[in-house]
Amino acid sequence: KEEEAVVSTQSTGEMAWYQKKIVNTLFGGVPHSTYEEVVEYCERAEKAAPGKWNRNLYLLARAYTAMGDRGRGRCYLERTLRAEIKTQDDKLVAEGAEEFYRKEFPGPS
């Protein structure tokens, strides 16, 4: 059985009540995808517009790490951390990436 990945960097526990209601109404729950699908979609987006979406880099970091490719996951995570913060979403992504980095790659970098 393939593992499933939530295609989001925001867990449902972090979502506001109205966001949960919208997701449940539109999708019947939080949409899921395999890690392989996440990588496929995000790699296509990255190829089309390299470095444009910080969240895309972060999703790639999380997916590769979850699939056991820690080297590639760390590379994308470090790119996420170096990315320019231009929007509120970029700020949220950076905060999540910092926390994920400390958790997954503790110690000296």
Instruction: Say how far apart CA 34 and CA 52 lie, in whole Å.
Output: 23
User: Is the pLDDT score of 17 beyond 80?
Assistant: no
Model confidence over 38-60: pLDDT tens digits? Answer: 899 999 999 999 989 999 999 99
User: Is the pLDDT score of 8 beyond 60?
Assistant: no
**CB count, 10 Å around CB of 86?**
9
Give 106: exposed, middle or buried? Use CB within 10 Å, 0-12, 13-18, 19+.
exposed
pLDDT in the model for residue 46: 93
| The CA-based dihedral angle spanning residues 100, 58, 33, 20, taken in that order and rounded to the nearest 10 degrees | 70
Q: Widest CA span of the chain, in angstroms?
A: 44
Instruction: Say how far apart CA 106 and CA 32 lie, in whole Å.
Output: 28
- Span 64-68, average pLDDT: 93
Model confidence over 23-40: pLDDT tens digits? Answer: 677 767 666 678 888 899
pTM for the predicted model, two decimal places: 0.73
User: Is the pLDDT score of 1 beyond 50?
Assistant: no
